[in-house]
Structure 1
Amino acid sequence: MPRIDFARMRCPVARAMAILGERWAILVLREAFYGTTRFDAFERNLGIAPNILSARLSTLVRNGLLERVPVRGARHEYRLAAKGRDFFSAYVALKHWSDRWMTGPEGPVVRLLDAATGAEVVAPPLLGAGGAPLGPEDVRVVPGPGAGQGARRRFGGAEPGEAEPGADRRRADTPGGVNPRREQRATANRSPDRTAVRRSEAGSGAPEAGAAPEPPAGRVVAGMEGHRHG
């Protein structure tokens, strides 16, 4: 069976996976978010083979996520481009998902703190227009302007705001169309233990001895125990 080229698919997630689905790609971006710019620093912090690192950096530069900037002599630095910086919120969401579901009892290896306030940076929940949290069952998928015939056949031609034929199967048959599951999630998210803003104790975000120097103010890096984890 021929290999499928994700870059040629219409699905935006597939197109993103064509770049970021390569092994090490997101970890290279993680290092860029944490302030790494030099090839040798990427190699040291990741523990990656030089030839693989070179290939991943080239992919990220070619696709506009990083910029290769000449510095002193014949050296270069790899800096975040606008396209790469825009992935930061998605990276934070991925990190917090992993911290919640895949981290052991010892807790996260690193935390992300607001450099100005010291408050922990968290991925915001997905909310509806009324402020209630949204899950997959609360969302309708409709064709967008770039949809092909397959997507239009699968998802129909209804535009946002148009009623679907028949009753909405995702809403309870109650006055006002209240969705009990959404109400339960909203109540849970209003509880003190879910909504309290977690802040670090004074000085808790300082790097351990031997850690890489902190990046300039405004860079979100704190509590790091080693760049190989994230």
Structure 2
Amino acid sequence: MKWEKVGEMNCPVARTLAIIGDRWTMLIVRNAFLGTKRFADFQSQLGMTKHLLSGRLKRLVDAGIFKKEEYQQGRYEYKLTTKGKSLYPVLLAMTAWGDDWLDAGKGASLLYVDKKEDIT
């Protein structure tokens, strides 16, 4: 089966991976949870090319994980939707797994604190 067809499988894991299952997408989502909203900020924080970041953000908007809002004439911010915010437990699970199995003895690299703030 080709990767492009994974999203059509009758499997929720496969359909989820079709949207967030590449090496950049969850890093973009992570940064959104940390407060990043603007294209240039995502790019400078992640070191992605404009082309690559643009494609990932478009996919996330098309999937309803981000909404794109104009904040100035021709300038946009990317904000997590309710659907996007529901990825928080996934991100926490990935963080915990990475800390448990991949930290190379360095200890937790991130500490997530729930401040009960709206991150829109």
TM-score (norm 1): 0.49
In 2, the alpha carbon distance for the partners of 1:50 and 1:70 equals: 19
- Cα RMSD (Å) of the superposition? 1.6
Q: Offset of 1:110 from its aligned partner?
A: 1.6
Cα offset for 1:114?
3.1
In the comparison of the two structures, how many residue pairs are matched? 118
1:219 Cα deviation after fit = 6.4
In structure 2, the residue matched to 1:112 is 112
Partner residue of 2:52? 52
Aligned twin of 1:3: 2
- Tell me the residue number matched to 2:103: 103
Identity of aligned residues (%): 35
Instruction: Provide the TM-score with structure 2 as the length reference.
Output: 0.91
Deviation at 1:21, TM superposition (A): 0.9
Give matches, 1:177-192, under 5 Å: none
CA shift, 1:94, in A, is 1.0
Gaps of 5+ in 1: 117-217, 221-230
Inter-partner Cα distance in structure 2 for 1:109 and 1:44: 20
Q: What displacement does 1:104 show? A: 2.0
* Distance in 2 between residues matched to 1:91 and 1:109, nearest whole Å: 14
Structure 2 counterpart SS, 1:71 = strand
Q: Give, in angstroms, the shift of residue 10 of structure 1.
A: 0.6
- Amino acid across the alignment from 2:61: V
How far 1:113 moved relative to its partner?
A: 1.8
Cα distance per residue 1:153-183 (max 9 Å; x no partner): xxxxxxxxxxxxxxxxxxxxxxxxxxxxxxx
Return the index of the structure with the highest Cα Rg.
1
| Structure 2: gaps of 5 or more residues | none
Does 2:17 correspond to 1:17?
yes
**Separation in 2, partners of 1:219, 1:69:** 16
**Contact kept in structure 2, 1:34 and 1:219, CA below 8 Å:** no
* Structure of greater relative contact order (alpha carbons < 8 Å, 6+ residues apart): 1
Aligned equivalent of 1:75: 75
- Residue 93 of structure 1, CA deviation: 0.9
**1:84 alignment partner in structure 2:** 84
